[in-house]
Amino acid sequence: MGFFWQNKQFEQTLNLHWQRLYRQAYAWCHDPQLAGDLVQETLSRSCRRPYQFENDKALGVWLYKVMNNCWRDHHRQQREMVPLDEMHMVTESGPDLSLAQQQLQHTVQQAMAQLKADHRQIITLIDMEEFSYTEVAEILDIPTGTVMSRLSRGRQQLKLILEKTSPSLAAGGTTIRSIKP
Amino acid sequence: MNSPHIPESQLHAYVDGQLDTHERAEVLDATRTDAELARQLAELNRLKELVRLAYQNPPPPRQLPHSRPARLSRSGQAIAASCLLTLGLVAGWWAHTPAPGPGFQELSQLDQPIPPGDRVLLHISKMDTQRITHALDKAERLLQNSVQQHRPLQLEIVANAEGLGMLREDSPFGDRIRTMRQQHTNVRFLACGIAMENARLKEGREPKLLPEANKINAALEQILGRLKEGWIYVKG
């Protein structure tokens, strides 16, 4: 086992994977505890099946595929989404975020929560993780054409919701410029 | 939202970096003469950026209300670190060896002699009567072998998620666990604190454990700590 702990660069890569998995899981469910459970279950399931990957990208695709299966299983068990009023406010994000940043995140998260779950998944996998359409199709086990059509519909819906709930944000107000990546 | 020359799907593919050089040039050319197209592209880029920003700093998983060491009490670092460690093991295992590494064993491998002085962690995450019975059978055999062969052994049986049911006071395995503990001092039954907290939130009251079971912070934390110490991990 020692080999893995001595490889600092590899640890950094894995650290990046964990953060990305958690962020993605949170974007899917908007529940920090469930997101943590999803990542934990993803890793637990991954332990059960040895697999060899050609590169880090392939490992990433597979991890998200496993997490999607966990997410589907959760849905089968729950048969319901987290109600909007139970969503966790972005004020939990920590003291580093300004009020403007918190408001922006809250507004967009609320809008995203109104999308269909499968649309939201596709948007977040592409926008946050920068997966290709083909990779998303593999992760979600759906045709690439379906990825593209759902992406288009999801973005259109998101735009309409934001125009309705936050016209200045949808139109490109000044708020976004206060955000520092 | 369609341009007469560039279909909407092409615009999405452009902002998502899915086009080849020729196709990208085609879209760029069109935006020079089509202000509406340029506006649509800017709008899509803006939406992408908003989504990225919205989830840039997700809140950490909730903490257990008590008993968590100070170094783990901030921002879900315990779970984050645990998952990172797991991922380190798992991904390293995947990336470098096509077969399971020495720290990971199948339940069936417990029948084979283990090195003297070895330590084994048996992980139960499903409330599956048949599987748990099988796992406990293996554990008992392992314990008996260690006695008969005078081989030192430490065994921890860690339950989380649905597997917590095995260690609850109404567990159908209660008598068997009690007997195992009475006969062997080198076996411990450990219940995941996160699974207990989830059960408390779901049921509205603190779940009660068998007297033989001890609560730990998190199963994953325990598993990873043990793996780092050289224990053998067995998924039950």
Decide if B72 is inside a domain: no
Whether residue A170 sits in one domain with residue A143: yes
Dig out the tokens for B6 from the structure: 């560039």
Tens of pLDDT, residue by residue over B82-99, are 444 444 444 333 333 233
In this prediction, residues A114-142 reach a mean pLDDT of: 96
Nearest to A50 among B98, B102, B125 (CB): B98
In this prediction, residues A85-101 reach a mean pLDDT of: 49
Q: What is the largest CA-CA distance in chain A?
A: 55
Q: Hey, which residues 138-157 in chain B have their CB within 8 Å of chain A?
A: none
Whether residue B116 sits in one domain with residue B30: no
Is A51 in contact with B94 (Cβ distance < 8 A)?
A: yes
Whether residue A153 sits in one domain with residue A101: yes
Q: Hey, which residues 85-144 in chain A have their CB within 8 Å of chain B?
A: 88, 90, 92-94, 96-97, 101, 104-105, 108-109, 112, 123-124, 126-128, 130, 132-133
Is A43 in contact with B58 (Cβ distance < 8 A)?
A: no
Nearest to A26 among B55, B100, B104 (CB): B55
Tens of pLDDT, residue by residue over A32-48, are 888 888 887 887 776 55
| Residue B135, burial from CB neighbour count under 10 angstroms (0-12, 13-18, 19+) | buried
**Pick from A95-99, B27-31, B205-209, B217-221: least confident:** A95-99
φ/ψ of A31, rounded to 5, equals -135, 110
Q: At what angle do helices B21-33 and B35-54 cross, to 10 degrees?
A: 120
Per the prediction, chain B carries an average pLDDT of: 77
Decide if B48 is inside a domain: yes
Q: Is the alpha carbon torsion for B141, B144, B146, B149 positive or negative?
A: negative
Whether residue A96 sits in one domain with residue A51: no
B95 CB neighbours in chain A (<8 A) are 10, 52-53, 59
Confidence check: pLDDT of B228 > 90:
no
Whether residue A95 sits in one domain with residue A68: no
Q: Which amino acid is at A11?
A: E
Decide if A2 is inside a domain: no
Q: What is the pLDDT of residue A45?
A: 73
Is A33 in contact with B198 (Cβ distance < 8 A)?
A: yes
Partner A contacted by B44 (CB < 8 A): yes
Nearest to B92 among A10, A97, A123 (CB): A10
Is A14 in contact with B95 (Cβ distance < 8 A)?
A: no
Partner B contacted by A169 (CB < 8 A): yes
Which residue(s) pair with B233 in the sheet?
B104, B121
**CA-CA distance, A41 to A39, in Å (whole number)?**
5
Closest CA to A39 of A52, A29, A51: A29
Is A32 in contact with B60 (Cβ distance < 8 A)?
A: yes
Q: What is the pLDDT of residue A178?
A: 29
Distance from CA of B57 to the nearest CA of A (A): 6
Closest CA to B153 of B161, B163, B143, B162: B143
**Pick from A70-84, B2-16, B78-92: least confident:** B78-92
Q: What is the ipTM of this complex?
A: 0.79
Q: What is the DSSP letter of B16?
A: T
Number of domains, chain A:
2
**Pick from A78-87, A122-131, B111-120, B157-166: least confident:** A78-87
CATH of the domain at A162: 1.10.10.10
Q: What is the pLDDT of residue A171?
A: 61
Whether residue A113 sits in one domain with residue A170: yes
**What three-state secondary structure class fits A154?**
helix
**What three-state secondary structure class fits B204?**
coil
**Element of type H or E holding B215:** strand B213-216
Tens of pLDDT, residue by residue over B140-154, are 988 888 888 888 889
Dig out the tokens for A67 from the structure: 């997490």
Instruction: Please name the residue that has the structure tokens 């909407």.
Output: B8
Confidence check: pLDDT of A83 > 50:
no
Name the residue range of residue B21's domain. Answer: 8-54
Q: What is the pLDDT of residue A58?
A: 79
Decide if B202 is inside a domain: yes
Whether residue A165 sits in one domain with residue A97: yes
Q: Which amino acid is at A3?
A: F
Name the residue range of residue A61's domain. Answer: 8-84
**CA-CA distance, A115 to B155, in Å (whole number)?**
48
Is B53 in contact with A179 (Cβ distance < 8 A)?
A: yes
Number of domains, chain B:
2
Q: What is the pLDDT of residue A57?
A: 74
Choose one of B37, B54, B71: the last residue of a domain.
B54
Closest CA to B55 of A177, A83, A181: A181
Choose one of A66, A84, A102: the last residue of a domain.
A84
